[in-house]
A and B are shown apart, each in its own frame.
Chain A
Amino acid sequence: MYIYDDFDRTLVAERVREFRDQVRRRLSGELTEEEFKPLRLMNGVYLQLHAYMLRIAIPYGTLSSAQLRTLAHVARRYDRGYGHFTTRQNIQFNWIKLAELPDAMANLARAGLHGMQTSGNCVRNITTDQWAGVAPDEIEEARVWAELLRQHLTLHPEFSFLPRKFKIALTAAAHDRAAVKVHDIGLRMHRNGAGEVGFEVMVGGGLGRTPFIAKTIKPFLPKRDLLSYVEAIMRTYNQYGRRDNIYKARIKILVHELGAELFAQEVEAEWLAIKDGNLALDDAAVAEVASRFRYPQYAELADNPPELAKARAADQRFQIWLDNSVANHKVAGHAIVMLSLKPVGGPPGDATAAQMDAIADLADRYSHGEIRVAHEQNLVLPHVAQRDLPAVWRALDEIGVATPNVGLVSDIIACPGLDYCSLANARSIPIAEEITRRFQDLDRARGLGRLHINISGCINACGHHHVGHIGILGVEKNGEEFYQVTIGGRAGEDAELGAILGPAVPCGEIADVVEDIASAYVELRARPDELFVDTVKRVGVEPFKERVYAAR
């Protein structure tokens, strides 16, 4: 976890002061809404259907318990007692008052939290694998590089007024849990033949109106060149990204229109002029930032302690949870614990202030004071000793975040949709809630295996529906809510976009459609352990379409 120093703290405090002044000037009329809107967006302040929404960055998804408590405090003091974790490892508060925002931000700033650049046409929160630093399949710690990039791109004078938003994701593991291929820049750590570590650089991924999988423009970039190469990409985009049409302004359109090869050449030409300048990262520069990362002093423990085996045997519920929500840790005797924020019949990804406080306490007691936010809208306790798992489970169960549905059909990823969002065409939360009710039987959910459902309430795709195993897109037809279904999408290193299943179905039928898809899968799969998404790959969309639309 990165610990702020005086410089980091000062910057955030100065930002709060600046925003306080901007709010004052807006409330007095000195700034028009047109002049104020980009400024508030650059602090993560949206105006939604019912109220202002504040989006707070959780850099690379890592939170300290103190920070989580601060979020709980903000939820209580300035909002309606809860927050929503997003697909970009941020948290959103939905009921904020503009006039109170500077105070809320000052509270957050004291804990090293802020909403800088969580919206607007600038570089957004840099996301990564929620298991960074603890996953066994990791090449090395990636978050130092995310932090180097984060600082470099924060209040960057040249890149604060881009053609459109810009999203970067990083992964350092064999399995990409950060969906890097659907980001504007995706960075994937590799070890080359000589054993050196560097980044594969991909550009132009993105969802929304025109979804694209990112193209690799640099198969292996030495670590020292990370900042200069990203700078070259940003400068190319800032100058040549389209400014005439907001629907064609993302870098994915520029890469598509120029072609990846020509785009790569433009970047290379710019990069050659700067690569050996003041952006080159020498060991000292990296060590400087790395020195403020704190890592747990893990106890020396053995795997599978007897108390764990005993608890497993004694309690079936515990065993079910263990098998579902706990993953292997790179350090012996430890485990990664997933906290499901997807209760049956509840809104996906939300946590109450009380839950946040309770989780913060658990983190202090059992996870070296650290929590992670996953882009699947769940939380993680990344440093739990295996012998503590029974106690942790009982506590999580009390808090209501131990539903053993992580990665299953009821672990739905959904945007807030028309219940909150002014951009939406249709609601997503009630759909998610109904689906969780249909699949609340855990045996049934387990029987379907890993199955990711992603729901977006509009084409902006904040729910990442294009890369869902089952993707659901809300559309509006003649004033009614309809839902377009895709299947076969994937978000990882084998990323691909889902294929449309058939005509959009009305609101009242979408949960039935999902059940029919599940039934079709059970019928069509080669073996019980063939994943849904692999069955789709093997048999194609047609067999599913036939079965689902037979009676429609």
Chain B
Amino acid sequence: MTSPLQQKLKITGPVVVTANRLGDGAVIYRSAAGAWTTELASAAVVSTAPAATELLAQAAADKLTAVDPYVAPVTVNPGQRVLPGNLRERIRCSGPTVALPGAS
């Protein structure tokens, strides 16, 4: 399986640009305002290859905040709610699917 970090841009549905935040490694999404957000709901969603390429290029230019940005699939439900588009992105969005040891 190719890591999403090596993908050629082939857009078959809505996508966002996501990365890890440099200072703490947190999952972040590129917002429409050209900033970064930890909330998927506030992420810029695009659906064409040119738009995705542009969004990715802008994101990649911000080397002081974001590490290794890439394009990730999302699904947009009828209520316009943006949800992660695969298991990996679900886990990045919501955390491990298992209880953390000693979690209080």
- Tell me whether B97 and A82 are in contact (CB under 8 A): no
How many Å lie between the Cα of A49 and that of B25 in the bound state?
Answer: 8
- Tell me whether A481 and B23 are in contact (CB under 8 A): no
Q: A479 near B: Cβ within 8 Å?
A: yes
In the complex, chain A residues whose CB is within 8 Å of the CB of B95:
50
Q: A352 near B: Cβ within 8 Å?
A: yes
- Tell me whether B98 and A47 are in contact (CB under 8 A): no
Q: Assign chain B's interface to a size class.
A: 20 to 34
B24, B88, B101: the one within 8 Å of A97 (CB): B24
8 A Cβ contacts from A448-489 to B = 458, 475-476, 479, 481
Q: B78 near A: Cβ within 8 Å?
A: no
Q: A202 near B: Cβ within 8 Å?
A: no
- Tell me whether A33 and B86 are in contact (CB under 8 A): no
In the complex, chain A residues whose CB is within 8 Å of the CB of B41:
none
Q: A29 near B: Cβ within 8 Å?
A: yes
- Tell me whether B20 and A80 are in contact (CB under 8 A): no
B1, B25, B68, B98: the one within 8 Å of A52 (CB): B25
In the complex, chain B residues whose CB is within 8 Å of the CB of A97:
23-25
The distance from the CB of A481 to the nearest CB of chain B, in whole angstroms, is: 7
| Closest residue of B by beta carbon distance from A481 | B87
- Per the CB 8 Å criterion, the residue count for chain A at the interface is 41
Q: B27 near A: Cβ within 8 Å?
A: yes
In the complex, chain B residues whose CB is within 8 Å of the CB of A81:
100-103
In the complex, chain B residues whose CB is within 8 Å of the CB of A96:
25
Q: B11 near A: Cβ within 8 Å?
A: no
8 A Cβ contacts from B49-83 to A = 63-64, 67-68
- Tell me whether A99 and B24 are in contact (CB under 8 A): yes
B22, B101, B103: the one within 8 Å of A27 (CB): B22
- Tell me whether A346 and B63 are in contact (CB under 8 A): no
The distance from the CB of A87 to the nearest CB of chain B, in whole angstroms, is: 18
In the complex, chain B residues whose CB is within 8 Å of the CB of A29:
63-64
- Tell me whether A33 and B67 are in contact (CB under 8 A): yes
8 A Cβ contacts from B1-55 to A = 1, 3, 20, 22-27
Q: A418 near B: Cβ within 8 Å?
A: yes
- Tell me whether B100 and A49 are in contact (CB under 8 A): no
In the complex, chain A residues whose CB is within 8 Å of the CB of B26:
50-51
The distance from the CB of B52 to the nearest CB of chain A, in whole angstroms, is: 19
Q: A411 near B: Cβ within 8 Å?
A: no
| Closest residue of A by beta carbon distance from B26 | A51
How many Å lie between the Cα of A302 and that of B88 in the bound state?
Answer: 56
How many Å lie between the Cα of A544 and that of B1 in the bound state?
Answer: 29
Q: A427 near B: Cβ within 8 Å?
A: yes
The distance from the CB of A28 to the nearest CB of chain B, in whole angstroms, is: 8
How many Å lie between the Cα of A97 and that of B23 in the bound state?
Answer: 6
How many Å lie between the Cα of A81 and that of B103 in the bound state?
Answer: 8
Once A48-B25, A419-B96 are accepted as A-B contacts, the answer to whether A479 and B101 lie under 8 Å apart by CB is no
Q: A390 near B: Cβ within 8 Å?
A: no
- Tell me whether B92 and A49 are in contact (CB under 8 A): yes
How many Å lie between the Cα of A423 and that of B87 in the bound state?
Answer: 13
- Tell me whether B92 and A50 are in contact (CB under 8 A): yes
The distance from the CB of B96 to the nearest CB of chain A, in whole angstroms, is: 4
- Tell me whether A82 and B27 are in contact (CB under 8 A): no
The distance from the CB of A421 to the nearest CB of chain B, in whole angstroms, is: 10
- Tell me whether B27 and A49 are in contact (CB under 8 A): yes
- Tell me whether A419 and B22 are in contact (CB under 8 A): no
B24, B63, B97: the one within 8 Å of A32 (CB): B63
In the complex, chain A residues whose CB is within 8 Å of the CB of B91:
49, 418-419
Give residues in A with beta carbon < 8 Å to B: 26-27, 29, 32-33, 47-52, 80-82, 96-99, 346-347, 350-355, 418-420, 422-423, 425, 427, 429-430, 433, 458, 475-476, 479, 481
Further contacts, 17 of them, CB under 8 A, given A50-B96, A430-B97, A479-B87: A33-B67, A47-B68, A82-B100, A82-B102, A97-B23, A97-B24, A97-B25, A99-B23, A99-B24, A347-B98, A351-B101, A352-B102, A354-B102, A418-B87, A427-B97, A433-B98, A458-B1
Give residues in B with beta carbon < 8 Å to A: 1, 3, 20, 22-27, 63-64, 67-68, 86-88, 91-92, 95-98, 100-103
